[in-house]
Amino acid sequence: MNFPNQIDSKRIILQRPYPPTRELATEIYAEVSDFVDHLGQWLPWASKTYGIEDELSYLKDWCEAHWENEEGFAYMIREKETKKFIGMIDLMKVNQKHKSAEIGFWLTEKATGKGYMVEAVKALENEAFKQGLNRIVIMNDTKNIPSANVAKNAGYHLDGVLREERWSETQNRFRDSNVWSKLKSDQTR
């Protein structure tokens, strides 16, 4: 697979977080640190102990390692006009044999509700389908209505709910997860 370092869309740019420097980790951390409690409801890495070192480790150990192995492709989301960092989107669990992958995402609090994530999902899925994938999945906690709305507004089909699919430390409960999918053939329907 040959994913580009940058994917342009109408209002946003998806940009590979490369090179994984402390400066880049600091930029991302600065945007995340003020609302880590909100993200922590849905993302296990977002906790009170999250810091710049954690972000740098993610950039080096996950983003770069997965990109090199073609198992995942992480992108920063930036506003096209201002170049301001507003979130992350990852194509992960890439399975070339089965031509499938999963998209994960989050936005900064100030960027939510503006349609940026639907635009980012569509830009990344278009590239993934061009690269030969056939099926893309989005999973979200059933209580995470904004994420469910992203999947729905991006044209994904709700395949079903995985009951008590994972444990949430922050919420001290088992989470049910929506499973959404889009097939390459869905783009032409």
- Mean pLDDT across the stretch 18-37? 81
Highest mean pLDDT: which range of 28-32, 51-55, 138-142: 138-142
Which of 119, 134, 175, 183 has the alpha carbon at shortest distance from 157? Answer: 183
Which fold is adopted by the domain 6-188? Aminopeptidase (3.40.630)
**Tens digit of pLDDT for each residue in 7-26?**
999 999 999 998 888 999 88
Q: Give this prediction's pTM.
A: 0.90
What is the Cα–Cα distance from 162 to 179, expressed in whole angstroms?
7
Which of 1, 6, 3 has the alpha carbon at shortest distance from 16? Answer: 6
Contact 28, 76 (CB under 8 A): yes
Say what the alpha-carbon torsion angle 34, 38, 41, 46 is, to the nearest 10 degrees.
-20
**Tens digit of pLDDT for each residue in 49-108?**
566 788 888 899 888 989 999 999 999 999 999 999 999 999 999 999 999 999 999 888
For the ranges 50-54, 136-140, 175-179, the lowest mean pLDDT is seen at 50-54
